[in-house]
Structure formats: structure tokens, C-alpha cells
Amino acid sequence: MWAIVVMLIGALIAAEELPDLIRGKRRGDIWLFAALLLAGTGLGVAQSLRVEIPNPLDAISFVFAPVGKFLEALFM
């Protein structure tokens, strides 16, 4: 049910912003907006269907947690 709500919200956002964007006639603006909206709707649908979404913090922790642990060992 929530997946449909997310898609509806995506459609509403497109209806709100696209007319102005098309009138502005800037290709780049329209592409970036469309890409972000697709990403947002896709992620929202995936989340509402309880699909496992990779956590960006895992990647950040992979790189930076050893640095933090090293600092802790240095000071403690």
C-alpha cells in the first residue's frame, strides 16, 4: 500500500515542478530533477517493500573507523 502512496507522491512532485522546468527550457535542470525524483521514488518504493537498502555509513565506517580506533588507542 505504501509503495503506491510513494509513487503517487512522486507523481505529485513531478506535476508541481515539471511545468515550470519545461517552460524554463534548460535541459540540464530537467535531467537532474528527473534523475533525483526517480532515485527518490525508487528508494521510497524499495523501503516500503522492505527491500534491504545498502547503508552508506557501512562504507564510511570501513574507511574511518580504523582511524578513530587508532586515535582512541593513542590517547587512552
Partner 1 sequence: MIEKGKISLVQLNILVMLFSLGSAILIVPSALSSVARQDGWISAVIGVALGAGIVQMLVILDRQHPGQSLVESCETILGSFAGKLVGMLYFMFFFLLASLVLRNIGDFITTIVMPETPIQAIHVLFLVIIVMGVRLGLEVIGRASEIFLPWIVVLILVLVFFIIPQIDIDRVQPVFEMGMNKIMYGSLSILGIPYFELVVFLMILPYVNKRQKAGKAFLAGSLLGGFVLILITCLSITVLGWDFTARHAFPSYTLAKKIRIGEFLQRIEVMMAVIWFLTIFFKLTLCFYASALAIAQVFKLSSYRPLVLPLGMIMLVMSLVVYPNIVYFREFSSHTWTPFAFVFGFAFPFMLLLLSKAKKAVGK
| Residues making contact with partner 1 (CB under 8 A) | 6, 9-10, 13, 16-17, 20-21, 24, 26, 28-29, 32-33, 36-37, 39-41, 43-44, 46-47, 53, 55-57, 60-61, 64-65, 67-69, 71-72, 75-76
Q: Is 1 exposed, middle or buried (0-12, 13-18, 19+ CB in 10 A)?
A: exposed
As measured in angstroms, the least distance from the Cβ of 64 to partner 1 is 5
CB of 36 to partner 1, least distance (A): 4
Q: Write the DSSP assignment of 20-41 as a string of letters.
A: HHHHHT-HHHHHHHHHHHHHHH
